[in-house]
Structure 1
Amino acid sequence: MEFQRPGYTITGDHLAQHRELSMTAIGLGVHILSLPEGSRVDIRTLANRFPEGRQRIAAGLRELEKHGYLKRVAKRLEDGRMVTVTISYNNPAATKERLAGEAKPVERAARPKPAPERKPASPPTPEPTAPGLAPFQTCDGCERAFRAREAGLCRDCREGRRRLDPPAAAGATGSLVGHVP
């Protein structure tokens, strides 16, 4: 790897010249790659940093996620709070290639004995299957879960009612970035 003085970010042309990403998504991708690990990259923080606004930033993050530059994972902290951890990939194609090369089939001489079947402590709550029930979406304005056919704003954000961001109000760390080369 080439030495680079602090204060500079090396970005591949695969991101900077990506033909299917919007300029907002490319700019967000470069910005996120330039951040140190552990930096906040939630919609609110990015909207406070850039003039694009929450909806455009949310759309840019979805584009990056769709093309493999970001992965957002919900994680429960020890105190029970939920946070979103964002993992950024510098080169998604190279990462997929590397991971595919590492996943080799394992050969076994004999089949292991099956583990005794355990019953769960409580039955899992099934996803409602009523006809016409929309899937969960994440609100582009406040990052709250709501049911809708397409991504967008929850009812409170559409009606202009503002509410406190739950992770910020509870003192959670929000969405953090972790980089994968």
Structure 2
Amino acid sequence: MTDKQRNAPARPKTRHSSGVTHVNEPHHDNFVVIGNHLAQHPELSLTAIGLATHIQSLPEGTPIGIKALAAKFRPPSVTPPRPDHLQTCDSCDRAFRSPQLGRCRDCRSSVAVA
């Protein structure tokens, strides 16, 4: 019989059975170190952290004013449609604005009185 051959290295021994496993690979060119104080800042939004990370990765001397950033990060050209929330009353076919299906105000009050 032949010897067993593994096509992948053995998993590292960790104390935890679940969670993040880091594989640290050294980089020598074209990289920026971002501190955990920025990457995991509790008061910044994901957008703010991403923007700060992008700014830190730019070469020295790159313009980073509002106009330069707005030119680089254009909003999407197609905006998603907003829900209208117009419904048709089940009793009288009147249109009314509500997030739920059902009856208009007049038909609800007439059913409650009757």
Higher RCO (CA < 8 A, seq sep 6+)? 1
Is TM (by shorter chain) over 0.5?
no
TM-score (norm: length of structure 2): 0.39
